[in-house]
């Protein structure tokens, strides 16, 4: 099966190792991964800021790049939601682009959704070690309704035990623009999340979104906490 990887701008620019992990996992599952090289960003940053003209412009470029693919795989619940849910809103008054957006949305999958629901695999044959807790990224959970898929994939990793944290579905306080506009509130929300992670006793917190991870890691590192915050692809790539 062929699938085009949409790396997302965060992975592309800041966390390329996550992209490499995605490729490792998908290739292990015999997926012929392609990377349309003209890709840049889905436009969510501008859309969430209210700048829809700029967002639409970038989203059109995104559609140009990806619309001829059969499957588009995105290692982020947030970017996948932008494409699958919020392009509808963005192109509400533009029937032609709306139609393109709907078609693209249909074949766009967040990574774990793709593995579990399209490839129908829950054991990706990976090996890791430790006690892992899973953080539900908000858009993945509430825009796309995906919460069982990542958990079953984590459950399929040999050597790993999944230990739920309290309120795993509570927001980590990132919220993109929000974390920049209201850093103090953002951190206060994060504190509760970090407490929950600590309470789980896990040594590793896994999430499906580099936004949440960048936010969590930023504070974990600043405070010298010992827990690791990693993308689910990084866990699944282990062998």
Partner 1 sequence: MAQVKSAAFKKASTRALHDQGIQHALNHVMNHFTEARASAIAADYSDESWDAMRTRAAAIKAHTIGNLDYYLDLADRSIRRNGGHVHFADDAADATRIVIDIAKRHDVKRAIKSKSMVSEEMGLNDALKRAGIDPVETDLGEYIIQLAGETPFHIIAPAMHKTREEVSDLFHDWLKSAPTSDIARLCSIAREALRKHFETAEMGITGANFVVAETGTVVIVTNEGNGRMVTSTPRVHVAICGMEKVLPAIEDLPVFLRLLPRSATGQRTTSYTSFISGPRGPSDEDGPEEFHLIFVDNGRLNLLKDEVLREALSCIRCGACLNHCPVYRKVGGHAYGWVYSGPIGAVVTGPMTGMKQAADLPFASTLCGACRDVCPVKIDLPKLLLHLRHRLAEGTGSGERAGTWMERLYIRRWHDAVKTRAALDRSTRLGRLLQKPLVRRGKVRSLPLPVISGWTKDRDFPALAPKSFGEIWRDGLGPAREPE
Residue with the two structure tokens 């991870």? 213
Cα gap 186→102, rounded to integer Å: 33
Q: Which stretch binds partner 1 (CB under 8 A): 29-37, 97-105, 146-154, 230-238?
A: 29-37
* Binding pattern for the stretch 58-97 against partner 1, x by CB under 8 A and - elsewhere: x--x------------------------x--x--------
Q: How far is the CB of 100 from partner 1 (least distance, A)?
A: 18
DSSP H helices in the chain? 9-13, 16-28, 44-49, 52-66, 77-81, 87-90, 95-106, 111-113, 138, 148-155, 177-181, 183-200, 210-223, 232-236
Minimum CB distance to partner 1 smaller for 46 or for 132: 46
Span of 19-27, 106-114, 122-130, 153-161 interacting with partner 1 by CB under 8 A: 19-27
**239/40 Cα distance (integer angstroms):** 30
Q: Read off the tokens for 121.
A: 């695999």
35 contributes a contact to partner 1 by CB under 8 A: yes
Residue 222 as a binder of partner 1 (CB under 8 A): the answer is yes
* Contact region with partner 1 (CB under 8 A), list: 103-111, 120-128, 148-156, 213-221: 213-221
Touching partner 1, residues 91-130 (CB under 8 A):
none
Which of 1, 16, 127, 201 forms a contact with partner 1 (CB under 8 A)? 16
Residue of 29, 45, 118, 119 that binds partner 1 (CB under 8 A): 45
Q: Which of 161, 150, 163, 159 is nearest to 128 (CA)?
A: 159
Min separation Cβ 68 and partner 1, Å: 17
Residue 50 neighbours by CB distance under 10 Å: 9
What CA–CA distance (Å, rounded) separates 204 from 202? 5
Question: Which residue bears the tokens 């993308």?
Answer: 231
Stretch that binds partner 1, among 50-58, 104-112, 148-156, 201-209 (CB under 8 A): 50-58
């Amino acid at each position: 099966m062929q699938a085009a990887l949409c790396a997302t701008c965060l992975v592309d620019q800041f966390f390329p190792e996550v992209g490499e992990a995605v490729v490792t996992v998908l290739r292990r599952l015999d997926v012929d991964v392609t990377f349309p090289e003209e890709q840049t960003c889905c436009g969510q940053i501008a859309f969430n800021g209210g700048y829809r003209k700029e967002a639409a412009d970038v989203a059109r470029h995104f559609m140009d790049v990806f619309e001829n693919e059969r499957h588009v795989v995105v290692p982020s619940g947030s970017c996948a939601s932008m494409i699958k849910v919020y392009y509808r809103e963005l192109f509400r008054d533009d029937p032609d682009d709306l139609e393109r957006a709907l078609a693209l949305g249909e074949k766009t999958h967040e990574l774990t959704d793709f593995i579990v629901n399209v490839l129908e695999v829950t054991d990706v044959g990976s090996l890791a070690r430790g006690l892992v807790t899973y953080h539900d990224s908000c858009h993945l959970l509430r825009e796309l309704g995906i919460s069982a898929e990542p958990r079953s994939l984590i459950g399929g990793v040999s050597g790993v035990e999944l230990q739920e944290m309290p309120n795993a579905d509570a927001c980590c306080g990132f919220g993109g623009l929000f974390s920049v506009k209201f850093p103090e509130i953002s951190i206060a929300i994060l504190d509760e999340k970090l407490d929950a992670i600590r309470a789980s006793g896990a040594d590793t917190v896994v999430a499906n979104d580099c936004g949440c991870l960048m936010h969590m890691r930023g504070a974990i590192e600043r405070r010298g906490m010992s827990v690791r915050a990693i993308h689910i692809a990084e866990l699944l790539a282990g062998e």
